[in-house]
Structure 1
Amino acid sequence: KGKKVAITTGTTNTLVVRKHNEDKKLDIDIVPTKDHADALLLVESDRATAFAMDDILLFGLKSTSKNPDALEVVGTALQVEPYACMLRKDDPQFKALVDGVIVGLMKSGEFAKMYDKWFMKPIPPTNKPVGLPMNEQLQQNIKTPSDQPAT
């Protein structure tokens, strides 16, 4: 109660955290920031207790921060917002090509290898890992690929 939570202005996280704050009566003081770097700076400088954002962005910011060991990504997702590819609607051949490549990567195991390379192993420019293990939902999506939106 009464903690300051930084949230980047204009993101869906603002609405989600406000609703969670009201529903759970947490008395959180939401501190809007102009960008993710400012939100991280508030946490690093003890002007905010937390920064609420998409997990992948938090893990990425942590991995490139000056002191990643001082930061921890915690809690469960308040909302799931899958990432996707956007294609021209009037090009079914290109969509079929993209779908085929992605499904092929998933079925061959190459997708999991690529995920491990970019999210679990050290990467440039810092040569530090992002450190985000593949979640259950993505593992399930790999087992049963679909071009339908997640629910």
Structure 2
Amino acid sequence: MRLERWILGITIGITTALALCLPVHTQAAGTLEKIQASKTILLGYRETSIPFSYTGDDNQPWGYSVDLCTKVAAAIVKQLGLQELQLQWVPVTPETRIAKLNSGAIDLECGSTTSTLSRMEEVDFSLLIFIDGGSYLTRRAAGIKRFEDLAGKRIAVAAGTTSERTMVDALMQHKVVADLVKVSDHQQGMAAMAKGKVDAYASDRSLLIGLALDSGNQNDWVLGPETFSYEPYALMMRRNDADFRLAVNRELARLSRSREIHAIHDRWFGLLGKPGPRLESLYFLNGLPE
């Protein structure tokens, strides 16, 4: 009996000591609590990702993803019972968006970010909002008509994007040797191509179409016929904040169920026609019931 009591006493002592040594983790306030306290939501946007997220002539954010985030913000106002909510727009780049999100500089990223498993190690994503694919844009005068014509050429890619990796994979798959030139954003890539410093700019097809249309000289550009990657876009947020993610997804699902998402799509992609089969399927599947 004495032995049993002695062992029990030692066990309790060790357990207590371990408990005292373990660090105490206090759960940080969630994004919804942060928004409610500050009456402000910090929304990250891209300055040149036409037509998803860009700075308009009035120096205000515009685009498909910007519209979606504005809808999300309105839904959060209703959910939290706020009288008002300030939308503070913060510019981000492919290289700063994750850091700004995790530092608290933004609460939600409203751009053209591909949802990937590797990024999920650092951040969380909403329901998918768009499906795109990687391609390339060239000057018509360059005479580049197919992927193999890129051999020996200089191809610009925006640093920190999935296009940077998928273009490398595509070159290897097609056994094409070319020089990749990293640029900071879409605007710099287009400027480099216009000045003849590079022969092509690689990005997602919808973005390339938007850049060509916005250039004012769309006939000067040719979009490559190939699509060499799968780019599922989503809104990006901090990890492990289930309540905020639910609030975002609840509004995205409502937009799909009510078909309001089609009006938003037509506003920004109407010149390209109705949503294709893949995107139409995405909108249907996003219409989760309450």
* TM surpasses 0.5: yes
Tell me if the contact between 2:256 and 2:283 (Cα under 8 Å) persists in the aligned partners: yes
Matched pairs, number:
137
Q: CA deviation at 1:146?
A: 7.1
Give aligned-pair identity as a percent.
26
SS of equivalent residue, structure 1 residue 144: helix
Which protein has greater RCO, CA pairs closer than 8 Å, 6+ apart? 2
Give 1:112's match in structure 2, choosing from 250, 262, 272. 262
What residue number does 1:60 align with? 210
What residue number does 1:72 align with? 222
Q: CA deviation at 1:132?
A: 7.7
How far apart are the structure 2 equivalents of 1:109 and 1:146?
A: 9
The 1:56/1:96 distance shift into structure 2, 3 A limit, reads same
Is 1:10 matched with 2:151? no
How far apart are the structure 1 equivalents of 2:274 and 2:155?
A: 25
Q: Which has the larger radius of gyration?
A: 2
Tell me if the contact between 2:256 and 2:287 (Cα under 8 Å) persists in the aligned partners: no
Give 2:189's match in structure 1, choosing from 11, 14, 39. 39
Is 1:23 matched with 2:173? yes
How far apart are the structure 2 equivalents of 1:64 and 1:85?
A: 24
Q: CA deviation at 1:110?
A: 1.6
Tell me if the contact between 2:255 and 2:287 (Cα under 8 Å) persists in the aligned partners: no
More strand by share: 2
What residue number does 1:141 align with? 282
Give unmatched runs, 5+ long, in structure 1.
122-130
SS of equivalent residue, structure 1 residue 38: helix
The 1:38/1:96 distance shift into structure 2, 3 A limit, reads closer
Give unmatched runs, 5+ long, in structure 2.
1-150
Q: Given residue 203 of structure 2, which amino acid in structure 1 is its aligned partner? A: M
Q: Given residue 138 of structure 1, which amino acid in structure 2 is its aligned partner? A: L
How far apart are the structure 2 equivalents of 1:99 and 1:35?
A: 28
The alignment yields a C-alpha RMSD, in angstroms, of: 2.6
How far apart are the structure 2 equivalents of 1:30 and 1:90?
A: 37
The 1:34/1:103 distance shift into structure 2, 3 A limit, reads closer
Q: TM-score, normalised by structure 2?
A: 0.41
